[in-house]
Amino acid sequence: MSAQLPACQLLQRYYGDHTALCPVAPGRDEWLVHQSASMVSDSVALRDVWQTHQKAAFSPFEPTIELEGQVVLFWPKAHQLGLWWLDWLCQVLPEGTSVDIVGEHQGGIKRVPKWLDERGLKWDKLDNARRCTLYSTRTRALGDPDAAWTTFTAGELTLASHPGVFGHGKVDEGTTLLLEALDSRGLKTPLRVLDMGCGDGIISAWLAKRGHEVSAVDVSAFAVQATERTLAANALSARVLESDVYSKLDGERFDLIVSNPPFHQERDISFGPSARLIEKAREHLTPRGELVLVANGFLPYPELLKRAMGEFETLADNRRFRVYRAGA
């Protein structure tokens, strides 16, 4: 079996096929799944892949984590998130544990030695190929990873934010347009609402504050944590859970599904989750339910909506973003 992702190709070249690995924040690669003794990821979708192959897979927020194999941190595009993972590993692993760090050159891996130096972590360069580099270091006591959490005010709400969560530290323009469109419609109360891809929880909190029964889901554990913190900061309640689109909802139906769906995975554009959101919406809407979503104007969502939902309308358009509505 050959690795497919460039970073995994470098790992296969360096480690061969006989070293048990513990990837942290990896991408999906069948070779890596096969080589793993355990893994850690904020993505419930990726953890499900590893668990399907009977491999131990952990969220970084689980109370008990037992890592097996050579720890390899996959450096993310968001360097603040990479630093959080580094601090987290130094907290959960015994001091002096070997940690290797791999990433693509265009993703900022070449800046990692500078950040390791700033944290007083000694490092070595192990290998480079496929426009990727592999470094090694060892854990030592560092700062508290919780320090990465921040809060900021957005209108009537206080929002919690974490590196790697969509719109980190600010309100996305598309989300603002979406909330304005929902406000202008004068939603009846209470509706059973699903916030798909809840991010920092701004949409869920806005809806809960207006008396709706909200379920908030996201594939990322960071987003789930952020939404829970946002709700708590505003003395609001909602159900929050990790789910790869509808995977954990077991056929539940809602009066309203609302979303600002992501279309980036690291540096790649991916419509997979958004397409599943739209294609399966009818199965999760009540007979008079509605799907309302916001998207960049250039994205091909009208085609997806027309194919899956039939008729749809544009509720708002500011030339950069559009808010679409389709009924069940």
Give the C-alpha distances (Å, rounded to integers) separating 99 from 134, 302, 320, 328.
11, 46, 42, 50
* Structure tokens given for 187: 């939603």
pLDDT in tens, 109-158: 999 999 999 999 999 999 999 999 999 999 999 888 999 999 999 999 99
234: domain CATH number? 3.40.50.150
Distance (Å, whole) CA 41 – CA 110? 23
Q: Tell me, yes or no, whether 57 and 159 share the same domain.
A: no
pLDDT tens digits, one per residue of 6-43: 999 999 999 999 999 999 999 999 999 999 999 999 99
Answer whether residue 171 is part of any domain: yes
Q: Which residues pair with 254 in a beta bridge?
A: 285
User: Given a cut of 90, is residue 169 above it in pLDDT?
Assistant: no
Instruction: Verify that 164 and 276 share a domain, yes or no.
Output: yes
Q: Quick one: 167 and 290 in the same domain?
A: yes
Check pLDDT > 60 for residue 265. no
Q: Look at residue 271 in the predicted model and tell me its pLDDT.
A: 66
Token code pair at residue 195: 């916030």
Q: Are residues 26 and 128 both part of a single domain? A: yes
Percent of residues in the chain assigned helix, strand, coil, to nearest 5:
35, 30, 35
126 and 249 inside one domain: no
- Tell me: do 93 and 236 sit in the same domain: no
Q: Look at the chain and report how many structural domains it folds into.
A: 2
In this structure, are 274 and 170 located in the same domain?
yes
Which residues have C-beta within 8 Å of that of residue 62, sequence separation ≥ 6?
Answer: none
**In terms of domains, do 104 and 166 share one?**
no
Please give the residue range of the domain that contains residue 211: 149-327
pLDDT over threshold 50, residue 269: no
**Is 1 a domain residue?**
no
- Give this prediction's pTM: 0.93
Q: Report DSSP letters for 34-59, one per residue.
A: HHBSEEE-SBHHHHHHHHHTT-EEE-
